[in-house]
Structure 1
Amino acid sequence: MPAPHPRRAVLGGGLALGVLALTGCGIRLEDDAPEVPLVPRREPIPAESALLTVLTALATGDQEHDAVRADALQEALASADVPAEDLDAARTAVPVARGEQVIAYEAAVGGCPASMLTLMGSLMAGRMLDGDIPVSSWSAPADGSFGATAVAAEALAATEAADYAMTLVEARGGEALGERTRSTRRVLADLVLVQAEAADDDGTSTALGYDVDPVDGRAEATRLAQQTLTRLGDRYVRLLPRLSAERESASAVVGWVATVQRRARTWGVDDQVLPGMQV
């Protein structure tokens, strides 16, 4: 009986035969030949890295609404076909430093898919309201960077209507609300100036009057202020879908949302889970 072949000899013989067969067919084997993937690699969605960083920041954060916001973002990313394993990895990654969070939020708003712009704008506005990141840490829009004049004009009209409502609050709320009302109107006046410039408005388009329910006394005046500022922030958020091709303008609008919501706090309005979105 012939002696059995050792395993290495059998494998070596098979490999040698294979090489001879391939060589005979004119195929050359190279040690450094590149690997050819059998499955095409998935193309990441726009700003995917920044979006996943935001997800990490929310999933590992300690702010009041972080958990709900993380779930909302994860659902949107899953709908955009970001793999579940990438989402799970983001949720369990090392917490993100505040400075890196600012960069990630701004990059996400600046580059995310159009279908996610409203959500990301709302998330960024909410993060801007958190007290652990100074307002000065967020990028200020460059002069003349707002390119959507029609959107700016619509924002301007909403802000002017809100300011008119605040004049009623000032008139009917008494001196107890006086300083708070005047502070709010100063903020709105600053927004009017910025938005009028962005809209290329010379003041001739200002409405002559607005429909506002009658106000009588401090309680009703306070309620009107709360409703006015909340609705104004909502109006701004609803402008975002029209700014998918104007991302610098979108970032400016997000800043307006945060500014108005910050003033709404002074009137006793609780922070929204997602500013401008019903969640």
Structure 2
Amino acid sequence: MPQVDPGMPPCPTRRGVLTAGVGLALGSVAAMSLAACGIRLEDDAPRVPLIPTRAPISGEAFLIALWRHSDDLAERATSLGGAATGVPARLAGLHRRQVSVLQAELLRLGVPQKVLDDASAPSATPTTTTPPTTGAPTTGTATGTGTGTGTAPVAGPKALAAEEASDLGPTAIASLATVPSSAVPLIGSVLAQRAAAATLLGAPATWPEPAWSAPSLAASYLESTRAAVYAFEVVAAQSPTGAQRTLALATLTTLESRASEQESLASASAGPPALGYPLPFAVTTPAAARRLAARVLTDLRASVARDLGSTNGDLGPLGALVQWLAATEVLGSRWGVPLAAFPGLT
């Protein structure tokens, strides 16, 4: 019987060759099946032939930048100190809430935890005290590119206002339109919060003139504004003197201007206003008028926030709704309505 040379590898049997061939074929079929079913590997997984890597969700970079900037804004607002009831201290708490909720939303949308961990890891590049040449503006005008850079030094409330407004740059609304539709109200409310914060800190953001192509949408938003106008006519009537009357008239003027804008945008789609609108309770004293003001603005804020989901990515209505939501948040704050991390949704 011939002896096997120990220095030579054993010859494969016919059964072994057939088995290996079948195994390779089945592996290829399985890989192709996974790819066909849309399965994606995690970003840090080893590359497997025929299985595509994970594709980022729509608007992922914008969402992650907004999430990270919330953390930076919380630190900046905290660094200003001041009374616990002051605007910076209240904003610090709101931004910390945004960090938590936005992270949960990113995970819900399918962004892997590894991606979020990488985004929040300290940069390997040493930071300096030299202000950046791009990113957050040095005044209250929103001239950023849609997300803050988080590197400009804090030098007071107006510098914080500029950082808040830096998330409202010229690409912000276009970026908002790209995020998954289920996330639009949440993210739109964050942008509105940024604009409201900038205004309350003394450096309001500027807004582009909206290009509107859906008059019927404007008409659908008009009714809630008209109801608020009617309510504030009552508030003004029951606030005969002093600072409350001044505030009531100023709020009424703002809401009348919004109603007029919406009527113009709605054109022939706008019907005539109702003769009156129901009030939640009787208003016969200045104290009741103040309660009505806070209630109406809280309800209006919620109504505008809900409308954010109705635009179907139309930039004109989307930008206008973010602006109206921000303005309503400011009005409500002046009547004692607590600031919200997600105006209208909390």
Q: 2:218 aligns with which of 123, 137, 152?
A: 152
1:198, 1:190 → 2: CA distance? 12
Corresponding residue of 1:60: 72
Q: 1:187 aligns with which of 254, 269, 272?
A: 254
Shift of 1:209: 1.3
1:1-279 equivalences in 2 (<5 Å): 38=49, 39-62=51-74, 63-64=91-92, 65-92=94-121, 96=150, 98=163, 100-103=166-169, 105-131=172-198, 134-136=203-205, 138-142=206-210, 145-176=211-242, 177-201=244-268, 204-212=271-279, 213-278=281-346
Classify 1:249/1:204 alpha carbon distance in 2 versus 1 (closer, same or farther; 3 Å).
Answer: closer
2:269, 2:308 → 1: CA distance? 24
Name the TM-score, length of structure 2 as normaliser: 0.64
Corresponding residue of 1:23: none
**1:108 touches 1:120 (CA, 8 Å); kept in 2?**
no
Percent identical = 25
Between 242-251 and 95-104, report the one with greater CA deviation. Answer: 95-104
Between 160-169 and 207-216, report the one with greater CA deviation. Answer: 207-216
Name the TM-score, length of structure 1 as normaliser: 0.79
Aligned residues: 240
Pick 1 or 2: higher relative contact order, CA cutoff 8 A, min separation 6: 1
Secondary structure, in 3 states, of the residue corresponding to 2:177? helix
1:202, 1:179 → 2: CA distance? 34
**1:59 touches 1:92 (CA, 8 Å); kept in 2?**
no
**2:189 touches 2:343 (CA, 8 Å); kept in 1?**
yes
Shift of 1:116: 0.6
1:92, 1:195 → 2: CA distance? 45
Between 86-95 and 180-189, report the one with greater CA deviation. Answer: 86-95
1:133, 1:249 → 2: CA distance? 26
Secondary structure, in 3 states, of the residue corresponding to 1:210? coil
**1:162 touches 1:228 (CA, 8 Å); kept in 2?**
yes
Q: Mark the runs of 5 or more structure 2 residues left unpaired by the alignment.
A: 1-46, 75-90, 124-148, 152-162
Q: Mark the runs of 5 or more structure 1 residues left unpaired by the alignment.
A: 1-35
Task: Give, as a single letter, the amino acid of the residue that structure 2 aligns with 1:243.
Answer: T
Corresponding residue of 1:26: none
Query: Deviations for 1:91-132, whole angstroms, at most 9, x for unmatched residues?
Result: 345652536533374343132111110101111111111135
**2:176 touches 2:187 (CA, 8 Å); kept in 1?**
yes
**1:111 touches 1:247 (CA, 8 Å); kept in 2?**
no
Classify 1:71/1:141 alpha carbon distance in 2 versus 1 (closer, same or farther; 3 Å).
Answer: farther
Classify 1:139/1:47 alpha carbon distance in 2 versus 1 (closer, same or farther; 3 Å).
Answer: farther
Classify 1:248/1:202 alpha carbon distance in 2 versus 1 (closer, same or farther; 3 Å).
Answer: closer
Secondary structure, in 3 states, of the residue corresponding to 1:274? coil
Between 120-129 and 146-155, report the one with greater CA deviation. Answer: 146-155
**1:46 touches 1:112 (CA, 8 Å); kept in 2?**
yes
Task: Give, as a single letter, the amino acid of the residue that structure 2 aligns with 1:149.
Answer: P
Task: Give, as a single letter, the amino acid of the residue that structure 1 aligns with 2:235.
Answer: V
2:150, 2:225 → 1: CA distance? 35
**1:55 touches 1:91 (CA, 8 Å); kept in 2?**
no
Classify 1:158/1:173 alpha carbon distance in 2 versus 1 (closer, same or farther; 3 Å).
Answer: same
